[in-house]
Amino acid sequence: MLTLFGNLDSGNVHKVQMVLRARAIPFRRVDVRQDRGEPRDARFLAVNPMGKVPAVLFDDGDMMSESGALLFHFAAGTSLWLHDTRRQAEVLRWMFFEQYSHEPALAVLRYLRRFAGDPVQHSARIAELEPKCRHVLGVMEQRLADNDWIAGEGPTIADLALYPYTRLGSEIGFAATDWPAIGQWLARMETLPRHLPVYQDAAVETLAFEDYFGAGRAAQ
């Protein structure tokens, strides 16, 4: 059974949980928490030298990280990844937008507001990120005003990539009520069969970091 490393607060990890659940692929999860510095722990770095979650370890020892790569890997051969090259490029276009513009605004602002200690310490960075959040949500709102799904006729991995941090935007003052087309898209996503709500765990088994890695040694 494959092992997913990551915690439930992470939208990047949630994307992978969503595709694994959509595909009914069983997995265990090892909790790796950013607020405890666990992604930079030498034992986790032995698994993923990039020091980031999500990461997936397959039974044969192969490791894969980066949420977009993992979405692609687990969606290949399904309708979540389209066949036509132009359509594929459209899916990638929105996934690159998510990684370069959307996640660096919404996920970072959420991190600073919710997890990084006193938000007053980060007020300059927060002030910089707020208009960026409004911009990326405006881009999505415009797209979704005329399209049910971000990149295709039906849901694709571009929708999965954009879902968690858009949904979690309500935690940092970007409620879907202010973005009606986004609100309808979120509702559409949430009625898909096998949809996984944010913060829910689809793993068949969850291990704490120390239970998996033990003290001072890299786990197998």
* Smaller CB separation from ligand GSH, 41 or 130: 41
What's the rounded Cα separation, in Å, for the pair 74 and 25? Answer: 9
Phi-psi category of residue 24: left, alpha or beta, with phi > 0 → left and psi -120 to 50 → alpha: left
- Determine contact, residues 72/82, Cβ cutoff 8 Å: no
Cβ 38 to ligand GSH, closest distance in Å?
A: 8
Among residues 12 and 156, whose Cβ is nearest to ligand GSH?
12
Backbone angles phi, psi at 184, to 5 degrees: -70, -35
Query: 34 or 88: whose CB is closer to ligand GSH?
Result: 34
Query: Which residue type occupies 63?
Result: M
Q: Least distance from C-beta 64 to ligand GSH, angstroms?
A: 10
Residue 177 Cβ, how far from ligand GSH at the closest point, in Å? 26
Nearer to ligand GSH among residue 65 and residue 185 (C-beta): 65
Residue 162 beta carbon to ligand GSH: minimum distance, rounded to whole angstroms: 12
Residue number with the smallest Cβ distance to ligand GSH: 67
Binding site for ligand GSH (CB under 6 A): 10, 12, 34, 39-40, 51-54, 66-68, 99
Q: Closest Cα partner for 98 from 129, 139, 147?
A: 139
Instruction: Write down the least CB distance from residue 69 to ligand GSH, Å.
Output: 8
Helix 157-167, helix 180-190: angle, nearest 10: 110
Q: Which is nearer to ligand GSH, 68 or 152 (CB)?
A: 68
Minimal distance, residue 66 CB to ligand GSH, in Å: 5
Contact 82, 150 (CB under 8 A): no
Secondary structure (DSSP) of 67-135: HHHHHHHHHTTSTTS-SSHHHHHHHHHHHHHIIIIIHHHHHHHHHHHHTSS-GGGGHHHHHHHHHHHHH
Query: Looking at beta carbons only, is 21 or 52 nearer to ligand GSH?
Result: 52
